[in-house]
Structure 1
Amino acid sequence: MIIDELMKYAAPEAGTQVIKDIRIGLGYTCVELSGGGCGLAYTFRRDTGHTCSVLGTAGTLLGLPVSDMLTWARSDNIIKAALGLATINALINRESPGMTRANVADALEVRKQDTFGMVGAFRPILKEIRSRVGKIYVFEEDIEDGNGYYSSDDIPRYLPSCDVIVLTATSLINHTIDSIVDHCQDAREVCLVGPSTPMCPAVFSRHGISLLAGSLVTNPALALEIVSQGGGTRNLRPAIEHVLQRI
C-alpha cells in the first residue's frame, strides 16, 4: 500500500520526537511535533459515527512518541488515519528543491482534446479547467441530484479513458488511493492535490503520479487555532503556503 511506503519513508524523521499538540477540527486535523514540524489532513467528519466520543484515547495523546502516531495512518478508524497522515506531513512537508508556488490549474499539462478526470470535486480547479479540455468526469462519494458528477463506483469504467487526472489526497485517509491509481495507468498527467498531500516524490514517482500540489504549514500556532475553530482550506491561507512539485 502507498500509505505503508509513506510511513516507511517518514519513519527515520521521527527520531525521539513526541506529539506537542493536536487539533481535530470539523474541516481538518492538525498535528504539531516537538521538533517544530506541523502537518494537516482532512477530517472525514461524516464518517465518525454517531457516538459522542470518536477517539477512545482522547486526553492522552500529547507526549506520545511520533513514531507511534505515525503508524495510525494505516488505521481503519478514519480519525486515527487522519492523525497518522497529518503526522507524516508534519515530518516530511518542508521546503525542498523543485517546489514552486504556481497555480495548480496552470501547472496541469492539459490539451483542448483531453478527457479530464477528477476524483473529489475541487471546484476552483474545475472552474479554470472547463474551457481548456474536451470532456470532464468528476467522481464523488456523495452525489447530489443534478450536479452532473459521477459516483465513485463509476471510476473503473471511466477513469482509465482520462488523459489528465486530479486526485484528492484524502484518498490516503480512507485507503482508496491504491485502487484509484490502478485506473490511472494510461493518463499522461496525474496530480495529487490538497492540504493532505505528502510532498514525497520518492514514493509517488513509483505510482505514476506526476505532480504534487500540497501545503506547508508556515504558522503552526495559527493553523492549530484555525483548525480548532472549524476552519477549512480558505481559512487556513494565512497559516500555510500552497506548493507544487513536479515529479
Structure 2
Amino acid sequence: MLLYSMRCILHFFKEEVMKFIERVAQQAMTRGGDLRVKSVFIGLSYCVAELENGSCGLAFVFKDALGSGCHVPLPKRPLAGSSVAELLAFAGQGSTANSVALAVANAVFAPHVQPSSQGDFIENFSLQPGMKVGMVGNFAPLVNPIRKSGAELIIFDEHPPAFSGIQSPEAIPYLLPACEVAIITGTSIINETFDDLLTHVVDCRYVTVLGPSTPLLADCYADTPVSCAAGVRVRDRDKVVHTVVEAGGTQAFGPSVGKVNVCW
C-alpha cells in the first residue's frame, strides 16, 4: 500500500512539472492569446509564423521529426486563421508541434523585446585565457573568436565528426557543470532537452540561450540560471519566408534578420 502511495505521489509531481516549452507558451498566451495567426510556413530547417498584426517569429525544425511519409501529423489544421491560443496549445505535443508553438510565441514576443545589445552576443563577455566555455550545439562562427580569446572551448553536439574533439551529449553531465560560461542552443527547447540542460548549468557564471529559435522575453527564464537570450528579429518578412520554404538554414537568412541580445 505504501509503495502504491509513493508511486501515486511521484506520478502526480511528474505530471505537474511544466516543460520549458509550455512555460514559453504560457508567457505568450498572457501577451497575445487572443491574436490571430495569418500564416505558418514549415520548411525542412525552419518554421516561420506571421500574426495578423504583422509580427513574425522563427523556430527550428528537426528533419527527422517530420517522418518518412507524405503527411506531417499536427494537432490541428488549418494553421492559418487559427487563434494564437490554439497554436500555442501545440506545446509539448511533439517536436514539429513544438516548432509551430515556439514560432508563434516568438512572433507574439517580438513587439515586447527590449534589446540590451545587437550583433554577436559574444562581444558582451570579457572572455579571459583559461576560462572554460561549454557550447551545446556547434555554432561554427563562434568557435574561432572564443578560442582566440584564450578561453578553453568544449563543444557538445549530437553527431560529432570523427577526430573533431567535439563531445557527444553523454559527456554533458560530466563536463558542462565545470564551465564558467555555458552557451545552449535554442533548438533544445524544441526537442525538450533544455530542461535537463538547465540542471547542469546552475553553477555557471554566464548562461546564454542562442539561435533564431530563442525566445527573447526575459520572463520566460525566471528562476533559471539563464542570464542572456541571444536570438533574432525578423527584418524582412518576405525574404525570411522565401528562405524557409526553400529549405534554407540559419546562414541563409542573412540581413533579413537582425541579431538581438536580451541580457539581465
C-alpha contact (below 8 Å) 1:82/1:173 kept by paired residues: yes
- Residues 44-82 of structure 1 show CA distances to partners (whole Å, capped at 9, x for unaligned) of 113322222123568622111110101212222x11110
> For residues 188 and 113 of structure 2, what CA distance do their matches in structure 1 show?
24
C-alpha contact (below 8 Å) 1:23/1:30 kept by paired residues: yes
Q: Provide structure 2 residue ranges, at least 5 long, that are not aligned to the other structure.
A: 1-18
Comparing 65-74 and 14-23, the one that deviates more: 14-23
Q: Provide structure 1 residue ranges, at least 5 long, that are not aligned to the other structure.
A: none
C-alpha contact (below 8 Å) 2:230/2:262 kept by paired residues: yes
Mapping of 1:85-234 within 5 angstroms?
85-94=102-111, 96-234=113-251
> For residues 94 and 213 of structure 1, what CA distance do their matches in structure 2 show?
16
C-alpha contact (below 8 Å) 2:25/2:88 kept by paired residues: yes
> For residues 151 and 57 of structure 2, what CA distance do their matches in structure 1 show?
36
- Residues 195-220 of structure 1 show CA distances to partners (whole Å, capped at 9, x for unaligned) of 00100112214211111110111222
User: 1:94 is paired with a residue of what secondary structure?
Assistant: helix
User: 1:74 is paired with a residue of what secondary structure?
Assistant: coil
- Residue identity matched to 2:164: N
- Residues 18-67 of structure 1 show CA distances to partners (whole Å, capped at 9, x for unaligned) of 22111111221111111211100011113322222123568622111110
Whether 1:11 and 2:32 are equivalent positions in the alignment is: no
Q: Deviation of residue 9 (structure 1)?
A: 1.1
Q: Deviation of residue 2 (structure 1)?
A: 2.1
Whether 1:73 and 2:91 are equivalent positions in the alignment is: yes
Number of residues of Structure 1 aligned to a counterpart in Structure 2: 246
Q: Deviation of residue 134 (structure 1)?
A: 3.9
Mapping of 1:36-47 within 5 angstroms?
36-47=54-65
> For residues 105 and 173 of structure 1, what CA distance do their matches in structure 2 show?
23
Using a 3 Å threshold, how does the CA distance of structure 1 residues 94 and 112 change in structure 2: closer, same or farther? farther
Instruction: Please report the TM-score for the alignment, with normalisation by the length of structure 2.
Output: 0.87
> For residues 218 and 98 of structure 1, what CA distance do their matches in structure 2 show?
15
Using a 3 Å threshold, how does the CA distance of structure 1 residues 9 and 57 change in structure 2: closer, same or farther? closer
> For residues 96 and 116 of structure 1, what CA distance do their matches in structure 2 show?
27
Match of 1:50 in 2: 68
User: 1:167 is paired with a residue of what secondary structure?
Assistant: strand
Based on CA coordinates, which of the two structures has the bigger radius of gyration? 2
Identity %: 29
Aligned counterpart for 1:33 among listed residues 51, 63, 66: 51
> For residues 77 and 202 of structure 2, what CA distance do their matches in structure 1 show?
44
- Residues 103-142 of structure 1 show CA distances to partners (whole Å, capped at 9, x for unaligned) of 2221234221211100000010112101224422111111
> For residues 212 and 91 of structure 2, what CA distance do their matches in structure 1 show?
16
